[in-house]
């Protein structure tokens, strides 16, 4: 199951997500969880802001999937200055 999800992510989200708020909730959850399972998938997102937010949030919550979409959008705007 994880292999299927990883393949889908590699072929869709990572290569084309120019802005971190375009990353789907399911993709975000999988990438965050993978990093903290030692798979280090989260860093593969080209948007460094998403990586930093994932890492910071995981320190305060049990699972990255609890990140709210609105929180993610506001973080992106703050980091990018718009």
Query: How much is the pLDDT for 70?
Result: 58
Rg of the chain (C-alpha set): 12
In this prediction, residue 53 has a pLDDT band, given cuts at 50, 70 and 90, of low
Residues 8-46, buried b or exposed e (16+ Cβ, 10 A)?
ebeeebbeebeebbebeeebbbbbbbbbeeeeebbebbe
Check pLDDT > 50 for residue 36: no
In this prediction, residue 54 has a pLDDT band, given cuts at 50, 70 and 90, of low
């Amino acid at each position: 199951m994880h292999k299927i999800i990883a393949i889908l992510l590699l072929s869709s989200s990572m290569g084309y997500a120019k802005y971190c708020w375009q990353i789907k909730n399911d993709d975000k959850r999988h990438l965050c969880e993978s990093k903290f399972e030692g798979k280090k998938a989260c860093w593969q997102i080209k948007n460094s802001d998403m990586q930093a937010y994932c890492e910071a949030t995981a320190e305060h919550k049990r699972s990255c999937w609890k990140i709210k979409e609105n929180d993610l959008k506001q973080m992106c705007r703050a980091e990018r200055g718009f």
